[in-house]
């Protein structure tokens, strides 16, 4: 009977630890998604490229 009780307590602790790990993993994944600025960075770089292209065109079209 004592072994059964110890085993049950250990299983309960394992389940609690699994729930804690799941919660932490979910939290970390959500924070990673919130701080992913790669799309914003790509948009900024595209705009920068467009501006640079226009500046080059205007500079080349000016008669000196």
Kindly indicate the confidence band of residue 6, based on its pLDDT and cuts at 50, 70 and 90: very high
Query: Range of 30's domain?
Result: 2-61
For residue 38, CA distances in Å to 10, 31, 32, 34, 44 come to: 44, 14, 12, 11, 10
The domain tally of the chain equals 1
Look at the block and give the residue holding tokens 């501006």.
51
Over residues 29-58, the pLDDT tens digits come to 999 989 989 989 999 999 999 999 999 999
Average pLDDT over the chain, rounded to an integer: 94
Check pLDDT > 70 for residue 15.
yes
The residue that leads in pLDDT, 12 or 36, is 12
């Amino acid at each position: 009977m004592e072994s059964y009780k110890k085993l049950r307590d250990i299983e309960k602790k394992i389940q609690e630890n699994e729930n804690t790990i799941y919660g932490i993993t979910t939290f970390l994944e959500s924070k990673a998604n919130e701080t992913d600025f790669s799309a914003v960075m790509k948009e900024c770089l595209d705009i920068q490229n467009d501006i640079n292209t226009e500046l080059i065109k205007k500079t080349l079209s000016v008669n000196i």
